Amino acid sequence: MKVIIGDRSKISSLIADIVIEQVNAKPNSVLGFATGTSPLEVYACMAKAHQEGRVSFKSVISFNLDEYIGLNGKHIQSYRYYMDDNLFNHIDIDKKNTYVPKGVGHYKAYASKYDEKIASYGGIDLQILGIGSDGHIAFNEPGTSFDSLTHVTDLMEMTIKDNARLFKDIREVPTKAITMGIKSIMNARRIVLIATGKSKAQAIYNLINGPITEEVPCSILRRHPNCTIYVDDEAYSLVKEERLLNGKGI
């Protein structure tokens, strides 16, 4: 696992460049997208690159990591809405090739077919990931099996509290979600994770230095053959502190 340190704009544009390179090399790439505030600048850079004619997404297939249960795609807090609003409406991707797990209707049946659907396109070439302050990836909370595929899950109190900042009231935050599993994520051929800000420092410390355990879902990424973590100074601060204390330098 590689670690790259830079400010938010720098690491966002580096990740966008990786996506652009991937799509230019393989126009029908299968991309895995994350939501949350972390990848917003990455998506803005991708949209800009498209508008400047540096990349076309017209043959790309995309799969999103997760969705809240109970929110349909028209709900402003749904991840489908987020993706349309922050990326898909600004690039030439064919929306029928964009898969975001369904959080309404027969979502359990949908979950059980999601990994097959990904496999039917040959698997994910490049997965973008964020991270929760409790170390969750997608909505795989601490304790989730490393063998998990797409499933429906309860959200932890910490995640509900963290995500409440995006809702008017904490009582509006859904308590369940449909999420790709840890195994579904690990199946991606290449993973790039972005984390910025102090609130991610402990999770990044655990990811880099802690034990590999289901109690810290992100820790499994250390076993991935092609995973790079992009962090800013604040997110890296606890790792840096320890390295300096041990005389190892940054």
Which residues sit at the interface with ligand GLP, rule CB under 6 A? 34-38, 65-66, 130-132, 138-139, 159, 163
Among 229, 165, 239, residue whose Cα is nearest residue 202? 239
When the beta carbons of 66 and 125 are compared against ligand GLP, the nearer one is 66
Active site residue 136: yes
Reply yes or no on whether 134 is catalytic.
yes
Q: Which is nearer to ligand GLP, 55 or 138 (CB)?
A: 138
By beta-carbon proximity to ligand GLP, the closer residue of 96 and 165 is: 165
Q: Which of 134, 151, 162, 232 is catalytic?
A: 134
**Cβ-count burial 53-70 (b if 16+ within 10 Å, e if not):** eebebeebbbbbbbbbbe
CB 24, min distance to ligand GLP, A = 26
- The distance of closest approach from Cβ of residue 130 to ligand GLP in the complex, given in angstroms and rounded to an integer, is 3
Nearer to ligand GLP, 36 or 181 (CB): 36
β-bridge partners, 126:
31
Burial class (CB in 10 A: 0-12, 13-18, 19+), 104: middle
Write the burial class of residue 153 (CB in 10 Å: 0-12 exposed, 13-18 middle, 19+ buried). Answer: buried
Q: How far is the CB of 16 from ligand GLP (least distance, A)?
A: 16
> Is 224 assigned a catalytic role?
no
**Does residue 126 contact residue 192 with C-beta atoms inside 8 Å?**
yes
Catalytic: 66? yes
The closest alpha carbon to 101, from 116, 85, 79, 83, belongs to 79
Rounded least distance, CB 66 to ligand GLP, Å: 5
By annotation, the residues acting in catalysis are 66, 134, 136, 141
